[in-house]
Homo-oligomer: A and B are copies of this chain.
Amino acid sequence: MNSNPVLAELARNGWVENRHRGAFCIYDDKGNIIAATGDIERAIFPRSAIKSMQALALFSSGAVEKFGLNETDIAIAVASHHGETEHIAAVSSLLKKIGSTENDLQCGAHVPTNRKARNQLFSTGAKPGAIHNNCSGKHAGMLAVAKALGVSSDDYWLLDHPVQKLVKTSIEEVLGEKLSSNHCGTDGCSIPTFAAPLKSFGIGFARMATGKGFDDLTKGSIKTIFDAASNHPFLIGGTGVFDSEVMQVFEGNLVCKIGAEGVFCGAIRNLGLGFALKCDDGNMLAAEIMIAAILLKYASPDAVQRDFLLKRSEKTLQNWRGLEVATMRSVVSALGN
């Protein structure tokens, strides 16, 4: 097996300490490669990076219409939120609309990812609940799908449940290929996650960027999802989160979404392109540095966007005394032509 190239490295006082390999691809909606490096045929788990594909079930199930879901509801359903006040409010509002409560969420509990939100929660003596799970919005959306379908809502997370079957069909429609249960894992929030070739996600997001090949209903649903995400970037992640900040600075022209274990997928909407990245070792900071450098090179940034991406394609790390001791940086030479 050939190895993917080093796309980011950690240098300690200029000498490389760590190397992070990966593969990425950028496609147009006709399936032409715009840029790629590494093994893009290898099947990767997209994890949370394809929540916008999974959310299509909100439309095809009739949940959006039945419960009158708006952009805020849809944005939090495609988010990996950091548990800040606005995020919890959005999930609560969605749950209320569909007649569910936090107790119905099957994602498991974890502390808010945002430190301030975490400390705030601890200071009240409260314990973290399922609503603080970064996937709680997606789970609330899946509850909405279950209710719209009129099926059981206590086991909506299981592989063979009608909700997950519909979600799987939605992803398959976008990718234009079947997902295999031979390459199916369980995600951090307990729903199924299907591995597929990296290139399939790049092509899928390119098609989502333009709507090419979809019927009008699906095309409209995709546009609503992408508008929801890019009009409410803070809901998608939170304070200081790359996805939120990069979507803010691209003002509606970009959808960018992280996935656990070093994945980023998304669409450069104004260019009609889709992209997918997987860092081989799952390092999240390395993946973020990589995607910033990739967007810098391929997303045709204006001056403001360029400044932002330049800043985010390198990160200085401090030690326990606050001394700057190391830098995580992208390896630009490996980023293709």
A residues with CB within 8 A of B: 3, 10, 12-13, 15, 17-21, 43-45, 106-110, 133, 182-190, 193, 195, 261-262, 280-283, 286, 319-323, 325-326
The contact sample of 13 A-B pairs, CB cut-off 8 A, is: A13-B186, A17-B261, A17-B282, A18-B280, A19-B280, A108-B321, A108-B322, A133-B320, A187-B325, A188-B320, A188-B325, A190-B319, A282-B283
Contact of A185 (CB < 8 Å), options: B13, B106, B109, B182: B13
Check A186–B320 contact: CB distance below 8 A. no
CB distance from A185 to the nearest CB of B (A): 3
Write out the residue numbers on chain B whose beta carbons fall within 8 Å of the beta carbon of A106: 321
Closest chain-B Cβ to A297's Cβ sits at a distance in Å of 22
A241 to nearest B CB, angstroms? 19
Contact A319 B108, beta carbon cutoff 8 Å: yes
Query: Using Cβ atoms and an 8 Å threshold, which residues of chain B touch A45?
Result: 12, 15, 17
**CB <8 Å contact, A185 and B17:** yes
Closest beta carbon of chain B to A120's beta carbon, Å: 16
Taking a contact as CB atoms closer than 8 A, the residue among B15, B189, B282 that contacts A320 in the complex is: B189
